[in-house]
Homo-oligomer: A and B are copies of this chain.
Amino acid sequence: MARQRTRSKVHEAVLSLACESRVGTLTMEGVAARAGVSKQTLYRTWPSTGAILFDALLARSADEGGDVVVPDSGNLATDLEGLAVATIAELTDPTQEPLLRAVTAEIQSNEGLAAQFREMLLAPQLHGISDRLRRGGVTDPDGIAELFVAPIFHRWLLRSRPFDAAWVATHVARVLRASSVS
């Protein structure tokens, strides 16, 4: 296992590289050079750049408290809209988007990473949302949470159409209609 000092340097390096350069440009050699670490040190701990990046994201998320915070103002529609706006902001944040796209691309060809991603980043978020829905009286909170999140991801992943406030409002309205809550 790598020492904490080394891990930090590597995390810092991989995040800065992933931000500044194009996705897919991430290389073990580049990370090693940026981190001032030998390649062997990387290989001792991580099998791929995807793994390093993911580890770095996890560590950062842990540092920042990491818990998904779903607002609860009592008004479900308002809360969902706020959540959508926050999610969209995170997905399109210039310092985050390249990282997330890199991880997404990696997931397509790496089942192990996909599983980790699901369990450690995706599941907590969905649980937070479905908890809020349950508190709002939704009878099928898991399904509705998916119905709420998927179109946002879909637009982002396939870069299909822009996100604007009108769409968010309409989307939330549709989701609430599906949830059988007046």
Contact = CB atoms under 8 A, between A and B. Distances in A.
| Secondary structure type dominating chain A contacts | helix
B143 A171 contact: yes
Contacts of A158: 107, 114, 117-118, 122, 153
A146 B140 CA distance: 20
Interface string A1-42: 000000000000000000000111000000000000000000
Contacts of A177: 177-180
Chain A interface residue bracket vs B: 35 or more
Interface in A121-172: 122, 140, 143-144, 146-147, 149-151, 153-155, 157-160, 170-171
Quickly give the copy total for this chain: 4
A175 interface: yes
Contacts of A108: 23-24, 101-102, 104-105, 157
Contacts of A60: none
Interface in A59-118: 101-102, 104-109, 111, 114-115, 117-118
Contacts of A171: 143, 147
Contact of A174 (B24, B102, B115, B140): B140
Given A101-B109, A114-B158, A147-B178, 18 more contacts: A24-B108, A102-B108, A104-B157, A105-B105, A105-B108, A105-B109, A114-B159, A115-B159, A118-B158, A118-B160, A143-B170, A146-B154, A147-B147, A147-B171, A147-B175, A150-B151, A175-B178, A177-B178
